């Protein structure tokens, strides 16, 4: 495998990103199955879609690693975030997305223009995803408030 010239930090950042994206796939897939058992079919479908989007990110990272001559290696997957209800799951998901945004924010400042653009694109997608989670959480919390005493 031919190694392209790149900032030496980029392969490590890509490896961390791959680990996080595959962890997100595992989490969203697990949560989709869990909420489906609760009868929350719409939420399960939305979480399945999130898993697919994160898989798309993982595939793009793998392609980038291969283009740089780096063997893809997700070094550590995190356990899937589970909980007793949908709001708990979504709060955990948002905290995870904030961490991913932090990684991509840092990575978008490193390397050459292609590296920065690659990470900036992922950053913008993850920011949009985190924002969508905030909106989903807020909607569910409003519903809970409306159903209160």
Domain 10-146: CATH architecture, name and number where available: Up-down Bundle (1.20)
Residues 2-38 pLDDT 10s: 445 678 899 999 999 999 999 999 999 999 999 999 9
**Mean pLDDT for the chain overall:** 93
With a CB cutoff of 8 Å and minimum separation 6, the contacts of 84 are: none
pLDDT above 70 as % of the chain:
95
Angle (deg, nearest 10), helices 41-67 and 113-146:
170
What are the contacts of 43-51 at 24+ separation with CB within 8 A?
43/86, 46/136, 50/24, 50/93, 50/129, 51/24, 51/25
Distances (CA, A) of 39 to 44, 127, 129, 132, 135: 9, 29, 24, 22, 22
């Amino acid at each position: 495998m031919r190694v392209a010239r790149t900032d030496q930090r980029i392969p490590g950042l890509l490896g961390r990103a791959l680990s996080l994206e595959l962890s997100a796939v595992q989490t969203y897939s697990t949560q989709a199955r869990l909420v489906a058992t609760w009868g929350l079919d719409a939420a399960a479908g939305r979480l399945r879609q999130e898993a697919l989007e994160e898989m798309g990110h993982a595939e793009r990272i793998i392609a980038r690693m291969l283009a740089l001559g780096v063997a893809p290696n997700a070094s550590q997957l995190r356990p899937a975030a589970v909980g007793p209800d949908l709001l708990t799951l979504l709060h955990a998901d948002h905290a995870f997305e904030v961490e991913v945004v932090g990684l991509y924010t840092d990575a978008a400042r490193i390397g050459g223009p292609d590296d920065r653009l690659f990470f900036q694109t992922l950053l913008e997608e993850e920011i949009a995803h985190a924002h969508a989670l905030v909106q989903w959480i807020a909607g569910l919390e409003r519903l809970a408030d409306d159903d209160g005493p």
